[in-house]
Amino acid sequence: MDTSKILSSYRRLSSLPGGRLLFGWLLRRAVPYTGSIRPRVIELEPGFARIAMDDRRAVRNHLSSVHAIALMNLAEAVSGLAMLTGLPDDARGIVKGLEIEYTKKARGTIVGESRCHPPSTSEELDFDVTAELFDDAGEPVARAVAHWKIGPKK
């Protein structure tokens, strides 16, 4: 999915019946590994994203909680949508590193939130975006930082 079209697609589809589900399906098709957690985009604005991930067998570990890498996948997705929707049309970004701290076993639906002030330039630069993940009770389960490399589209 072209980064310049992410937000306009979400806005167009989210107002339609079943539109958010369709947007989620398009996101899963565009980014197959992210699709493995079946993300549901709840809110999306430039510099802000909220995504939910259901607790299901495919994302669990042997301790009957959500697997650490599924949580990292959610953190990367929510940080990316928050940041990419605010970039200028001539910019692109790619993750160059991820850090995460797990604070509690994750069970139930997990919601990721990310807020940032995306760069207003397509010049090459490094940009860090924080994502916080919460369980059904609103308790934090993880906090991540995605290190993004921003640059001009080729």
Residue pLDDT, tens place only, 80-96: 999 999 999 899 999 99
- Name the E strands within the chain: 40-45, 48-53, 91-102, 110-115, 125-134, 140-152
Alpha carbons 46 and 118: distance in angstroms, whole number:
8
Does position 122 have pLDDT exceeding 70, yes or no?
yes
Determine what percent of the chain is predicted with pLDDT higher than 70.
Answer: 97
Predicted confidence (pLDDT) per residue in 47-74, tens digit: 999 999 999 998 888 988 999 999 999 9
Q: Which of 2-6, 36-40, 107-111 has the highest mean pLDDT?
A: 107-111
Residue 123: burial class (beta carbons within 10 Å; 0-12, 13-18, 19+):
exposed
Domains present along the chain, CATH in parentheses:
3-152 (3.10.129.10)
2 pLDDT more than 80? no
The continuous run of DSSP H or E covering 6 comes out as helix 3-14
pLDDT band (50, 70, 90) for residue 32: confident
Q: How confident is the model at residue 106 (pLDDT cuts 50, 70, 90)?
A: very high
- Tell me what percent of the residues of the chain surpass a pLDDT of 90: 68
**51-59: Cβ within 8 A, 24+ apart:** 51/77, 51/78, 51/81, 51/111, 51/112, 52/109, 52/110, 52/111, 52/112, 53/109, 53/110, 53/111, 53/112, 54/109, 55/106, 55/107, 55/108, 55/109, 55/110
Average per-residue pLDDT in the chain? 92
